[in-house]
Amino acid sequence: MSPVMMMQMLMGSVSGISLQLLCWLCIVGVATVSSVRPPAVSKESTPVALDPDQTSFAFTRSIELYTSGNESSDGIVRAERIRNWSRWHFEESVGSDSQTSCFVRELLSRLELFDVGGGYFRVGQFMAQYKQYKQFLDCSEQEVNDLADKLERHSGLHDCDAIFRVFKESILEPAELLRKLFLLDPESASTVRSYMGSAIRQLNESVFEYCENKFYNDKRDIWCAARNYSIPEDKDFHRHIECIFNGLHYFNRRGDLDVDEICRDFHQVGITDLDNEVSEVLRSCDVNPETKALSYYRCILESDFLDKFKEALDYREIRSADHFYALKVPMPVYDRNQIQSQINSVNRECCSI
């Protein structure tokens, strides 16, 4: 199906929005909760190019954080936001929907294009993306430099509206260039995923499936033991767990543990009273710096909340196969029996647990 046909489908009934379609259209979304804190990036850090999986997550997580509500009226507003942002029709929303400008801030921050704490654009990220993917991009280095120059002159931007104004003036017109650089257009993303192959997680592939295939494709017995929440005696297992922690964003881009992200998975299954306990267990964990993920995982397996962690992680496994899972219309509702059935299906297909 051509991108034009997919766009025509998207512009139709909101209730029929296809998540896979939205993924291919590379939506750019956002915003509802003022308490959400966009990730800050150090000005001193060297820009590192993001891959299609990372930019897709940046987009979808931004929308997920800033859209909510199961009431009928809220659902309509939520669907409208998704539809408008997917077409880059931000002007239509900003007058009546103040969340649009905060969406832009969130997205730019998660793409590591904007430093929220410093109030400036990290223009070096443009060139990092260009150098990494230029063989796949239909744009010139001069175009990238021109866009960076427009943004570099701006500083002291600390509120959503100010950032949004600069976005409209400097980025919105050459939006196609931004989408290409960050692999948010269907052609660039597809080409890069195809080129990178098994080195990157593919569409509809869960984080767990990707990591298991990467390290245990020919060692199914070890894989199956690990899926049963045991720690096998295997030299690659710490790398396998590190792959999962990185894929689930339990480690941030600096390699630090993000306890909030772990607690968030508990919240997704309705467990909201364990934040302090989870934080304390992970804070007091005896961590080997060479095998950090395995150290934290071992502490969780030895904790009193292990069974609840299993439930939370099972749901995250299913959701991780589709960045757009939480953006369905209507909003998906957690069903423990349904998720357990899906997990059992995966286990039956690959293991005998």
Is the model's pTM score more than 0.85? Answer: no
Mean pLDDT over residues 223-232, rounded?
Answer: 87
Is it the case that residue 67 has pLDDT exceeding 60? yes
Any idea which of 34-38, 183-187, 228-232 has the lowest mean pLDDT?
Answer: 34-38
Q: Is the peptide bond before 330 cis (omega within 30 degrees of 0)?
A: yes
Residue 297's pLDDT is 98
Any idea which of 92-96, 105-109, 289-293, 295-299 has the lowest mean pLDDT?
Answer: 92-96
Residue 61's pLDDT is 93
Domains of the chain: 3-192 (1.10.238.20), 204-329+343-350 (1.10.238.20)
Residue 94's pLDDT is 46
Q: Percent of the chain scored above 70 by pLDDT?
A: 83
Mean pLDDT, all residues of the chain = 84
Any idea which of 37-51, 190-204, 209-223, 254-268 has the lowest mean pLDDT?
Answer: 37-51
Tens digit of pLDDT for each residue in 235-269? 889 999 999 999 999 999 899 999 999 999 999 99
| Measured CA distances, 264 to 90, 106, 210, 273, 324 (Å) | 29, 18, 22, 11, 17
For 294-327, letters b (16+ CB in 10 Å) and e give bbbbbbbeebebeebbebbbbbbbbbbbbbbebb
Distance of CA 279 to the CA centre of its chain: 22
Is it the case that residue 231 has pLDDT exceeding 50? yes
Is it the case that residue 38 has pLDDT exceeding 80? no
Residue 224's pLDDT is 85
Residue 69's pLDDT is 56
Is it the case that residue 89 has pLDDT exceeding 70? yes
Mean pLDDT over residues 108-115, rounded?
Answer: 96
Phi, psi of 129 (to 5 degrees): -65, -45
Residue 338's pLDDT is 97
Q: What Rg do the C-alpha atoms of the chain give, in angstroms? A: 21
